[in-house]
Copies of this chain bind each other. A is one copy, B any other.
């Protein structure tokens, strides 16, 4: 576990590190998210790769700089590959991020989520319904969209972070990150973001990219969400709807620079409740 510094977090410094390293991010993600996730990572300056066959997933995980596992569209062979890749990441000291899409919806998802938690993700990023479901609280939602506000998952997020010694990021209208000891709320984003599919899934890749070379996964996750939210805010200024928002969002991620990030309000870290 890292030192839990409580100083303000500077997203620009984290983004500069990401662009300097152009990390290779291995993603086992859902079939809807594959393309947007790759484009988001490329726009930001990372190098995405999607590799899911059991014949190579673990080998590739040990080659990449970080791994993401997203359970949005499951099937048995993929679930095995997810386990093996997560294990390879863990054994070789690489960060990995779990995205528990709709984890409460079916027995298969609950079981898959439970097994993946055992592989000790560095970060879990989900919406409020998903984080509540992982802690077996709340309705867990029906589909892939959250039926709970972020605040409703605050306690569950802190409990989950403590239970598995991970960072938990809950995204929604307001974003919240905790490592069980610290907590940060990140403003930004735009009302059109939930109207574009898999922007949450793509954010999971962005968190992984920010983790590479970071000393503090909590700070890196906060920085990732701050950059993403700021790009969303900027895209919202020029969008006419979800189609033009998706286009403007990629342009905004690409254009994100130190000056833009310097205008953000300082991200304050508090003690977790």
Residues of A233-255 whose CB lies within 8 A of B: 240-244, 246-255
Tell me the smallest distance from the CB of A233 to a CB of chain B, in Å: 16
Q: Does A98 contact B (CB under 8 A)?
A: no
A228 CA to B105 CA in the complex, in Å? 30
Asked if A73 meets B52 with Cβ closer than 8 Å, knowing A32-B38, A47-B143, A252-B241, the reply is yes
A240 CA to B246 CA in the complex, in Å? 13
Q: Does A229 contact B (CB under 8 A)?
A: no
Chain A contributes a number of interface residues (CB within 8 A of B) equal to 60
A26 to chain B: closest residue by CB: B143
Contact at B38–A51, with CB atoms within 8 Å?
A: no
Contact at A72–B53, with CB atoms within 8 Å?
A: no
Contact at A35–B197, with CB atoms within 8 Å?
A: yes
Q: Does A1 contact B (CB under 8 A)?
A: no
Q: Which of B32, B53, B75, B242 contacts A43 (CB 8 A)?
A: B242
Copies in the complex: 3
Q: Does A74 contact B (CB under 8 A)?
A: yes
Contact at A56–B106, with CB atoms within 8 Å?
A: yes
Task: List chain B residues, Cβ under 8 A from A91.
Answer: none
A55 CA to B107 CA in the complex, in Å? 9
Contact at A109–B56, with CB atoms within 8 Å?
A: yes
A181 CA to B40 CA in the complex, in Å? 41
Tell me the smallest distance from the CB of A90 to a CB of chain B, in Å: 19
Q: Does A19 contact B (CB under 8 A)?
A: no
Q: Does A102 contact B (CB under 8 A)?
A: yes
Task: List chain B residues, Cβ under 8 A from A32.
Answer: 34-35, 38, 50
Asked if A53 meets B74 with Cβ closer than 8 Å, knowing A31-B34, A105-B63, A243-B249, the reply is yes
A105 CA to B56 CA in the complex, in Å? 9
Contact at B254–A24, with CB atoms within 8 Å?
A: no
9 smallest beta-carbon distances between A and B, as pairs:
A243-B250, A241-B251, A38-B197, A241-B254, A243-B247, A56-B106, A56-B108, A55-B108, A49-B143
Give chain A's interface residues, CB within 8 Å of chain B. Answer: 24, 30-32, 34-36, 38-39, 42-43, 47-53, 55-56, 59-60, 63-64, 72-77, 102, 105-109, 142-145, 194-198, 240-244, 246-255
